[in-house]
A = this chain, B = another copy of it.
Amino acid sequence: MKKKVTIHDLAKMLNIDSSTVSRALANSPRVKQKTRDLIQAKAKELGYSRNVVASNLRSKRTLTIGVVVPYISRYFFSTVIAGIEEHATENGYQVIICQSHDQIEREQQMIQTLLSYQVDGLLVSISMETENTDHLKHVLNQEVPLVLFDRKCNGLSLPTIHIDDFQMGYEATKHLIDQGCRRIVHFTGSDQISIYHDRKQGYCQALKDHGLVVSEELILTSALKEADGKLLAQQVLDMPLRPDGIFCANDLTAISAMQLLIEKGVKIPEDIAFVGFSNEPLGNYLSPALTSVNQNPKEIGKVAMQTLLGELSTKPSPDTDRLVPAHLVVRASSLKKG
């Protein structure tokens, strides 16, 4: 039996990119008429027959959206997904969810798998490891709409839904200053991650604007996992000059640090005032309850899905970034002044 001729065979023979060959065979006007003619002639000559099943799938809407997040177990991500699903369902779309576990390799695999399912679009919050963006470029090459949320991606112009992390880092820090704190520690994540970078810049700016010195010794970097909270709290206890405020770039780490400090006899907020970030429901049940930043995750999900629907329609929105308003939720952990 003669081997079937594939698009890849044609691409190789003609030394033309296989996505161009594919478009030419579908008679897409996006390929120049001359190139289209050349490819179609060669295909005819070699007896190429289109894979109708695959083509139909590709040209048909599947009414399915793929979502990739680091961890579904985080309140922020599961609530963003709730917002996505609510808006997706209203518009007749199904949602398929994958976890990257903050690993680029898994993120690449999951995106590849979702593309093979012919999802109509992708909503992704990139992993902490994502520096190489070839897999995201590949999505764009496939002409599948892609919208990011929360974490921005350097070097790729993609619609991204996020809060103003700089502004909220600024507000969190200013709140501590307003409460009388003068020696404020910041727990941050990798500077490569846009959200942590921006929150830190907001912290620095607030200190400067209020006549306080930015000291590298007071900025402690970690992976911001729950276990890191204990280690960071120990570092704070070991500081020769005890700080009077801590602004932590996420809640889970803040909560675990706060627990250790309380165990060691530190009074919160009297000795050290605390502000976290992400407004995990847990923070509201603690004693003292944790001041935090509400990122409005459900709204982020809704806006992300709206933006994707815009991309799916023929009129993509001109904005590449959309800001969702966030706000500081003040609770007992930071209230030195009643």
> CB within 8 Å of B: which residues of A?
51, 53-54, 64, 72-73, 75, 78-79, 81-82, 85, 94-99, 101, 109-110, 113, 117, 255, 281-282, 285-287
Contacts and interface: CB of A to CB of B under 8 A. Distances in A.
Given A72-B78, A285-B285, A95 B96 contact: no
A99 B113 CA distance: 19
A97 B97 contact: yes
Given A53-B54, A72-B78, A285-B285, A96 B98 contact: yes
Contacts of A51: 53
Contacts of A75: 73
Contacts of A73: 72, 75, 78-79, 82
A193 B148 CA distance: 38
A109 B94 contact: yes
B53 A72 contact: no
Copy number in the complex reads 2
A94 B82 contact: no
Nearest to A86: B101
A285 B255 CA distance: 10
27 contacts: A53-B54, A64-B113, A72-B72, A72-B73, A72-B78, A73-B75, A73-B78, A73-B79, A78-B78, A85-B99, A85-B101, A94-B98, A94-B109, A94-B113, A95-B98, A95-B99, A96-B97, A96-B98, A96-B113, A97-B97, A97-B98, A97-B99, A117-B117, A255-B285, A285-B285, A285-B286, A287-B287
Contacts of A78: 72-73, 78
A107 to B, nearest CB: 12
A110 B97 contact: no
Given A53-B53, A78-B78, A94 B110 contact: yes
Contacts of A109: 94
Contacts of A53: 51, 53-54
Contacts of A281: 282
A324 to B, nearest CB: 19
Contacts of A99: 81, 85, 95, 97
A57 to B, nearest CB: 9
A155 B110 CA distance: 35
A86 to B, nearest CB: 10
A117 B119 CA distance: 11
A81 B110 CA distance: 16
A94 B82 CA distance: 22
Which 8 interchain pairs have the tightest Cβ spacing?
A73-B78, A97-B97, A72-B72, A53-B53, A117-B117, A285-B285, A72-B78, A282-B282
